[in-house]
């Protein structure tokens, strides 16, 4: 048995992604209409909320008293793959490219990809200390098992 210690993916770690985040960051100064979608960063995950009413001003989405104003719909598409929820997927019609930069002395020797369905998967690891790049080969096609 091997235990893999997870690394928390934050905005600082996810330095780029080809998956767009169409929702806007919630602001207490903005009035939201019915069905407006916003996100809030909660426990390092961009959580998506949909407005349930028009004239939605300064109602904090995750507040317990906001259930008549906002509906939580899970992580945004860009962050769904990092929300630690089984079955939560990040999807895109074309290829997905993400860059993760671990902070300071943090290191990773294992990458776990669950629920992956793709024609190919390419993992590139850059090591600035050794000035080298490792590329893992991919089997094709890849299907979640």
**What's the whole-model pTM score?**
0.79
Strands of the chain (E only): list them. Answer: 14-17, 24-25, 31-32, 37-42, 45-51, 56-57, 70-75, 98-100, 123-127, 132-136
Please give the pLDDT value at position 83.
87
Q: Which two tokens stand for residue 31?
A: 């009035």
Confidence of residue 119 (pLDDT cuts 50, 70, 90): confident
Give the domain 14-112 fold.
Seminal Fluid Protein  PDC-109 (Domain B) (2.10.10)
Model confidence pLDDT, tens digit, residues 39-78: 999 988 899 999 999 999 999 999 876 689 999 999 999 9
Give me the chain's average pLDDT, please.
85
Domain spans of the chain?
A: 14-112
Spatial separation of the C-alpha atoms in residues 82 and 24, rounded to whole Å: 19
3-state secondary structure of 126: strand
């Amino acid at each position: 048995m091997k235990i893999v210690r997870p690394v928390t993916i934050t905005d600082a770690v996810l330095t780029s992604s080809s998956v767009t985040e169409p929702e806007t960051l919630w602001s207490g100064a903005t009035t939201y209409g019915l069905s407006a979608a916003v996100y809030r960063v909660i426990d390092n995950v961009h959580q998506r909320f949909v407005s349930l009413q028009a004239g939605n001003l300064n109602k904090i989405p995750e507040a317990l008293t906001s259930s008549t104003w906002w509906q939580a719909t899970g992580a945004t598409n860009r962050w769904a793959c990092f929300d630690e929820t089984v079955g939560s997927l990040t999807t895109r019609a074309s290829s997905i490219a993400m860059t993760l930069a671990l902070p300071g002395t943090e290191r990773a020797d294992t990458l776990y990809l669950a629920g992956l369905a793709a024609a190919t998967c390419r993992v590139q690891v850059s090591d600035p200390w050794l000035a080298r790049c490792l590329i893992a080969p991919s089997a094709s096609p890849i299907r979640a098992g």
